[in-house]
Structure 1
Amino acid sequence: MTEDARIALVGSPNAGKTSVFNALTGLRAKTGNYPGVTVARYVGTCRAGGRAQLIEDLPGTYSLEPISPDERITVDVLDGRLDGAPRPDALLVVVDATTLRRSLLLVAQVLARSLPTCVVLTFTDELALRQGRLDVDALSRALGVPVLAVVGHRRLGIAQLRERIASWRSWPAPVLAPPTDPAELDAWAESVLVFAGYRPAERHRATQRLDAVLLHPVWGLIVFFAVMMVFFQTVFTLAAPLQGGVETLFGWLSGLVADHVGSPWLSGLLGDAVIGGVGGVLVFVPQIVLLFLLLALLEGVGYLSRAAFLMDRVMARAGLEGRAFVALLSSFACAIPGIMATRTLPSAKDRLATMMAAPLMTCSARLPVYVLLIGLLVDPSSRIGPFGAQGLIMFGLYLLGAVSAMVAAWAVKKLTDRHGTPMPFFMEMPPYRMPAPRAVLLAMWSSARAFLRKCSTVIVVTSLALWLALNLPLHSAAQMRAAGVDTTNSVAVSAYVIDHSYAATVGRAVAPVFDPLGFDWRVNVGVLSAQSARETFVATLGQVAAAEDAENPAGALRAMTYPDGPRAGQQVLTAPTIAALLVYFAYALQCMATVAVIRRETGTWRWPAIAFGYLTVTAWLMALLARTVTAALTGG
Structure 2
Amino acid sequence: MLALPTHIALLGNPNCGKTALFNLLTGSRQKVANYAGVTVERKEGVAHTASGRHVKVLDLPGAYSLNAISNDEAVTRDVITGHLDTLPDLLVCVVDATNLRLHLRMVLEARQLGIPLVVALNKMDRAQKLGIRIDLPKLALALGAPVVPTVSVHAHGARPLQAHLDHELPPRTTSTWQAQSIDDVRHTQHEVHRIFEATVQEPAVDHDPTERIDRFLMHPVWGLVVLALVLTSTFLAVFSVGSWLTGHVEEVFSWLAVQVEERMNDGLLRGLVVEGIIGGVGGVLVFLPQILILFLFFLALGDSGYLPRAASLLDKPMSKAGLSGRSFIPLLSSFACAIPGIMATRTITNWRDRLTTIMIAPLMACSARIPVYTLLIAALFPQEPMKATALMVGLYALGIVSAMCVAWVMKRPHRSAGNAPLLMELPAYQWPDLRSLVIGLWERAMIFLRRVGTIILALTIIMWALYTIPSPRAHADGTPIERSLAGELGNGLQYIFAPIGFNEHISIALVPGMAAREVVVSSLGLVYAMEGDEEQVGAQLQDRISNEWSLATKLSLLLWMVFAPQCLSTFVAVRRETNSWRYMWIMGGYLFALAYLASLVTYQLTLFLTAP
Give, in whole Å, the separation in 1 of the partners of 2:205 and 2:344: 32
Name the counterpart of 2:76: 74
More displaced stretch, 330-339 vs 298-307? 298-307
Q: Which of 410, 413, 418 lines up with 1:412 in the alignment?
A: 410
More displaced stretch, 98-107 vs 283-292? 283-292
Q: Equivalences for 1:324-335 in 2 at 5 Å?
A: 324-335=327-338
* Amino acid aligned to 2:401: V
Q: How far apart are 1:51 and its partner, in Å?
A: 5.1
The answer to whether the 8 A contact 1:3-1:52 is kept is no
The answer to whether the 8 A contact 2:19-2:59 is kept is yes
1:500 correspondence with 2:500:
no
The answer to whether the 8 A contact 2:253-2:278 is kept is yes
Q: How far apart are 1:558 and its partner, in Å?
A: 5.5
The answer to whether the 8 A contact 1:144-1:173 is kept is no
The answer to whether the 8 A contact 2:363-2:562 is kept is yes
Q: Equivalences for 1:141-540 in 2 at 5 Å?
A: 141-167=141-167, 169-170=169-170, 181-199=184-202, 206-381=209-384, 388-414=386-412, 417=414, 419-473=416-470, 483=477, 496-540=479-523
Give, in whole Å, the separation in 1 of the partners of 2:395 and 2:168: 53
Unaligned stretches of 5+ in structure 1? 383-387, 484-494, 562-569
Q: How far apart are 1:194 and its partner, in Å?
A: 2.5
- Deviations along 1:127-149, one digit per CA (max 9) or x if unpaired, are 11122221222211121111111
The answer to whether the 8 A contact 2:109-2:177 is kept is no
Give, in whole Å, the separation in 2 of the partners of 1:132 and 1:553: 61
Name the counterpart of 2:86: 86
- The DSSP-based 3-state class of the residue aligned with 1:222 is helix
Taking structure 2 as the reference length, the TM-score comes to 0.91
Name the counterpart of 1:61: 63
* Amino acid aligned to 1:231: T
The answer to whether the 8 A contact 2:18-2:94 is kept is yes
Name the counterpart of 1:613: 589
Q: How far apart are 1:539 and its partner, in Å?
A: 0.8
Kindly indicate whether structure 1 or structure 2 has the higher relative contact order, using CA contacts under 8 Å at least 6 residues apart. 2
* Amino acid aligned to 1:627: Y
Give, in whole Å, the separation in 1 of the partners of 2:61 and 2:438: 23
Q: How far apart are 1:548 and its partner, in Å?
A: 6.2
- Deviations along 1:221-252, one digit per CA (max 9) or x if unpaired, are 12211222222222222223322222233223
The answer to whether the 8 A contact 1:362-1:586 is kept is yes
* Amino acid aligned to 1:574: S
More displaced stretch, 254-263 vs 58-67? 254-263
> Residues 230 and 4 (structure 1 numbering): CA distance in 2 closer, same or farther, change over 3 Å?
closer
Give, in whole Å, the separation in 2 of the partners of 1:369 and 1:343: 30
Give, in whole Å, the separation in 1 of the partners of 2:584 and 2:118: 44
Give, in whole Å, the separation in 2 of the partners of 1:5 and 1:119: 17
Give, in whole Å, the separation in 1 of the partners of 2:45 and 2:439: 17
Q: How far apart are 1:184 and its partner, in Å?
A: 3.4
The answer to whether the 8 A contact 2:334-2:361 is kept is yes
> Residues 186 and 252 (structure 1 numbering): CA distance in 2 closer, same or farther, change over 3 Å?
closer
The answer to whether the 8 A contact 1:511-1:520 is kept is yes
> Residues 78 and 206 (structure 1 numbering): CA distance in 2 closer, same or farther, change over 3 Å?
closer
* Amino acid aligned to 1:140: A
- The DSSP-based 3-state class of the residue aligned with 1:216 is coil
Give, in whole Å, the separation in 1 of the partners of 2:592 and 2:100: 49
Q: How far apart are 1:560 and its partner, in Å?
A: 4.8
The answer to whether the 8 A contact 2:292-2:441 is kept is yes
The answer to whether the 8 A contact 2:471-2:483 is kept is no
Give, in whole Å, the separation in 1 of the partners of 2:278 and 2:417: 52
Q: How far apart are 1:331 and its partner, in Å?
A: 0.9
The answer to whether the 8 A contact 2:224-2:313 is kept is yes
Identity of aligned residues (%): 40
> Residues 182 and 293 (structure 1 numbering): CA distance in 2 closer, same or farther, change over 3 Å?
closer
Name the counterpart of 1:43: 44
Q: How far apart are 1:630 and its partner, in Å?
A: 3.1
More displaced stretch, 176-185 vs 224-233? 176-185
The answer to whether the 8 A contact 2:326-2:348 is kept is yes
The answer to whether the 8 A contact 2:304-2:431 is kept is yes
Q: How far apart are 1:125 and its partner, in Å?
A: 0.7
Name the counterpart of 2:13: 12
Give, in whole Å, the separation in 2 of the partners of 1:542 and 1:105: 59
The answer to whether the 8 A contact 2:376-2:542 is kept is no
Give, in whole Å, the separation in 1 of the partners of 2:203 and 2:93: 20
Give, in whole Å, the separation in 1 of the partners of 2:551 and 2:156: 57
- The DSSP-based 3-state class of the residue aligned with 2:57 is strand
Give, in whole Å, the separation in 2 of the partners of 1:147 and 1:264: 69
1:98 correspondence with 2:95:
no
Q: How far apart are 1:305 and its partner, in Å?
A: 2.6
1:553 correspondence with 2:537:
yes
Give, in whole Å, the separation in 1 of the partners of 2:325 and 2:358: 15
Name the counterpart of 2:127: 127
> Residues 52 and 230 (structure 1 numbering): CA distance in 2 closer, same or farther, change over 3 Å?
closer
Q: How far apart are 1:4 and its partner, in Å?
A: 5.2
* Amino acid aligned to 2:133: R
- The DSSP-based 3-state class of the residue aligned with 1:153 is coil
* Amino acid aligned to 1:517: I
Q: How far apart are 1:201 and its partner, in Å?
A: 9.7
- The DSSP-based 3-state class of the residue aligned with 2:61 is coil
Q: How far apart are 1:571 and its partner, in Å?
A: 6.5
Q: How far apart are 1:173 and its partner, in Å?
A: 8.9
More displaced stretch, 244-253 vs 47-56? 47-56
> Residues 628 and 215 (structure 1 numbering): CA distance in 2 closer, same or farther, change over 3 Å?
farther
> Residues 628 and 307 (structure 1 numbering): CA distance in 2 closer, same or farther, change over 3 Å?
farther
Give, in whole Å, the separation in 2 of the partners of 1:398 and 1:293: 18
> Residues 633 and 247 (structure 1 numbering): CA distance in 2 closer, same or farther, change over 3 Å?
farther
- The DSSP-based 3-state class of the residue aligned with 2:311 is helix
* Amino acid aligned to 2:581: W
More displaced stretch, 152-161 vs 278-287? 152-161
Give, in whole Å, the separation in 2 of the partners of 1:47 and 1:235: 38
Q: How far apart are 1:215 and its partner, in Å?
A: 0.9
The answer to whether the 8 A contact 1:92-1:118 is kept is yes
* Amino acid aligned to 1:515: A
Q: How far apart are 1:531 and its partner, in Å?
A: 1.3
Name the counterpart of 1:385: none
Q: How far apart are 1:534 and its partner, in Å?
A: 0.8
* Amino acid aligned to 2:554: I
> For this pair of structures, how many residues does the alignment match?
603
* Amino acid aligned to 2:297: L
- The DSSP-based 3-state class of the residue aligned with 1:20 is helix
Q: How far apart are 1:576 and its partner, in Å?
A: 1.1
Give, in whole Å, the separation in 2 of the partners of 1:572 and 1:291: 31
Q: How far apart are 1:467 and its partner, in Å?
A: 0.5
* Amino acid aligned to 1:610: I
Give, in whole Å, the separation in 2 of the partners of 1:341 and 1:558: 36
Give, in whole Å, the separation in 2 of the partners of 1:474 and 1:411: 46
> Residues 610 and 627 (structure 1 numbering): CA distance in 2 closer, same or farther, change over 3 Å?
same
The answer to whether the 8 A contact 1:380-1:389 is kept is no
Name the counterpart of 2:24: 23
Give, in whole Å, the separation in 1 of the partners of 2:471 and 2:255: 28
Give, in whole Å, the separation in 2 of the partners of 1:168 and 1:542: 63
Unaligned stretches of 5+ in structure 2? none
Q: How far apart are 1:419 and its partner, in Å?
A: 4.6
